[in-house]
Structure 1
Amino acid sequence: MTILGLGIVGGIAATTYLLFHDTKESANINLYDAEVANDNNDITVDFHEEFLPVDDGLSLYISTTSPKNEDIKGIVQIIHGMNEHARRYQDLANFLAKNGYLVVTSDNRGHGFSIDSTNPHGHIDSYQRLVEDQVAISNYIKDKNPGLPLYLYGHSFGSLLARMYLQDNDFLIDKLLLTGTVAHFKMSKIGCALANIADKLVGSDKSSWIIQKLAQVGGEGDDWITNDEKVLKDIEKDPLWMSTYDNSGIATIWKSNLDLKADEKYKLTNENLPILSITGAQDIVTGGKKGLEDTRKTLENIGYKNIEIIDLPNMKHEVINELDNERVYDLILNFFDK
């Protein structure tokens, strides 16, 4: 390597080292604190919260919402996105339960209540570990409800995890729904490399300022998320909303994006799996029409044959939290019902 090359590498390393800070410690939040207690007072559905132990000792927070005194049509398993948590999907869960579905939501490890000393807020070792958690939830809920179809729904980062879930486990599910469908970004390879450098230099449990900036696909602020000001205000005061990830968490997010194109990792046992993507035309993470078409082609190259893309005008990233979300709810219900 030339002296210039060594200088560039050294400069990147030094900059990364200087710009890190400790990830804030996990908030001391109890499931039943008044500030964060679930306010689901809808008496027309059954609601239950529990913790599911997984093989590495972490207990995952999961909740189930189901119809009262009504036959269940199927199971909907929801994977949430970056920064957020399961309870942001409670309104949708209530809607689906009233229409005959058992809905299971969970906090991804390092989010919400799925934390411990090894998995604090903002720390994720690998996307494979997150997928293993979701598979454990799938098997748990299927064992408790034998014979019911299972529909997987992933939003944003959850849409990446849902597609990683397909690599080895597409036989477990009967339909796949994606919203806030993240496009493959060419810079994901660079993002992985920089995050790994930061990881090696200052530790996986530290948070580099420059790495955080690279991961802010929406830029500063939250107004790229939705047009609904009430939702944005709710985010500002949400004690479970996270603002940062450590270096390992950022590397995991970039790696899941990079592996969208790793066709060789997909075993493809359910090629006719119905897949629906619902996005907002103002959503910057989809890559626009070009990005959505690339998403379709990527899934088709893997071998999936039943893909539908719906891009809704005047909507941003969180289509289920948009001003006209009733339209989105109906699209989701129609997809699960047909």
Structure 2
Amino acid sequence: MWKWEADGQAKAVIAIVHSAYEHHRRYAWLIEEFRSSGFHVVMGDLPGHGESALNKQAHDEDFQSYGTFINHLIDASLTYNLPVFIMGHGLGATLVMQMLQEKSIECAGIILTSPWMHLHIHASKLSSALANMGKLAENVKSTHEITIKKLTRNYDVYTQDKDDDLYNTTITLKWYRELQHLMKATTAKQESIQDVPILMMTAERDKIADPTFAKNWLQKQQLSEIQYKEWKNCFHDLFQEPEREDVFYYTKTFVNNVLRSLGYVV
């Protein structure tokens, strides 16, 4: 787990859970924006991601390990004795949503961007294999064609990340089955999560996930404070897009408003 501390007096802590296949280094711009705006940032790489992905042929880690990781992330954030905001992107957003459905989390607010509830892109060779899945097929490997070019329109980000050795989309049938189960179970659950302020942002031209499923999930929650924003023309990775400064300002405004409602001077 890594910590980046705010310039001067910190107002709150932002705990970030990244999406599948990527790693914390892709969030360098966002981390610096939060840090320079008066927030501590806590983040790490999901199990099987980042440097550890270099030693793996495919993602086959248990999804329970992701939940354990997020618990550690939250615990590390709470050590500052400041309000904590949990941010999840893509698969990370869905993992946070699942955790909120299972238990109450000590936090001031939740920020969800482009949750994976229903994907436009399916792993090659695996969709048909799901129908006849057995133990022998669990280690079958495939590529999930979620390329950097499909994540963002930002050419500078594309040229920087297109040859990233740590970005690994090779998966096993077992991993893909767990992903499908996570999305289906999270979508189907009817009970509302704890009453915590939530900002959900999606992308109008998301090539990875269908934003209508995430919006429908949010509307089912019985919460006192929700915000939903669909960013016009944007692709999946909102904080990598050409409009990312606007996206960040919108996010910071949500966080500051929640802090004010809690009695903090912002």
Shared fold (TM-score greater than 0.5)? yes
> Does the aligned pair in 2 maintain the 1:225–1:318 contact within 8 Å?
yes
Pairing partner for 1:284 from 207, 226, 231: 207
Q: Is the alpha carbon distance of 1:248 and 1:181 closer, same or farther for their aligned partners in structure 2, counting shifts above 3 Å? A: same
**Rounded Cα–Cα distance in structure 1 between residues aligned with 2:248 and 2:42:** 17
Aligned match for 1:122, one of 46, 56, 59 = 59
Unpaired segments of 5 or more residues in structure 2? Answer: 258-266
Structure 1 unpaired stretches of 5+: 1-61
Conserved 8 A contact 2:77-2:84: no
What is the CA–CA distance in structure 2 between the aligned matches of 1:193 and 1:169, rounded to whole Å? Answer: 35
The reply on whether 1:200 has 2:139 as its aligned counterpart is no
The one of 63, 70, 73 equivalent to 1:137 is 73
How far apart in 1 are the matches of 2:15 and 2:107? 10
1:27 matched to which residue of 2?
A: none
Q: Aligned residue for 1:297?
A: 219
Contact 1:183/1:285 (8 A) holds in 2? no
1:207-246 aligned at under 5 Å gives the runs 207=141, 209=142, 212=143, 216=145, 221-246=147-172
1:22-75 deviation digits (Å, cap 9, x = unpaired): xxxxxxxxxxxxxxxxxxxxxxxxxxxxxxxxxxxxxxxx2111124x121111
Q: Does the CA-based 8 Å contact 1:182-1:286 persist in structure 2?
A: yes
Residue 84 of structure 2 is matched in structure 1 by: 150
Alignment of 1:14-163 (within 5 A): 62-68=1-7, 70-114=8-52, 122-126=59-63, 128-142=64-78, 144-146=79-81, 148-163=82-97
State the partner residue of 2:263: none
SS of the residue 1:223 aligns to: helix
Measured in 1, the distance between the counterparts of 2:15 and 2:176 equals: 24
TM normalised by structure 2 equals 0.84
Give the total of aligned pairs: 254
Residue 92 of structure 1: CA displacement? 0.6
Matched to 2:88, the amino acid is G
Computing the radius of gyration over CA atoms, which structure comes out larger, 1 or 2?
1
| CA distance 1:108–1:121, shift in 2 (3 Å) | farther
TM-score, length-scaled by structure 1:
0.67
Mapped to 2, the partners of 1:241 and 1:248 lie a distance apart of: 20
Instruction: Say if 1:163 and 1:292 are closer, same or farther in 2 by CA, change over 3 A.
Output: closer
Q: Give the Å deviation of 1:101.
A: 0.7
- Residue-by-residue CA offset, 1:209-255 (whole Å, 9 max, x unaligned): 4xx4xx54x5xx44321111121222222121113112222122212
Supply the AA of the counterpart residue of 2:9: D
**CA distance in structure 2 between the partners assigned to 1:280 and 1:186 by the alignment:** 13
Matched letter for residue 110 of structure 1: G
Distance 1:321 1:297, change over 3 A: same
Report the CA distance shift for 1:195/1:138 in structure 2 as closer, same or farther (over 3 A): farther
**Partner secondary structure for residue 182 of structure 1:** coil
In the superposition, relative to structure 1, how do residues 201 and 276 fare at CA in structure 2: closer, same or farther (>3 Å)? same
Matched residues in 2 for 1:192 and 1:132: separation? 28
Residue of structure 2 in register with 1:173 after alignment: 107
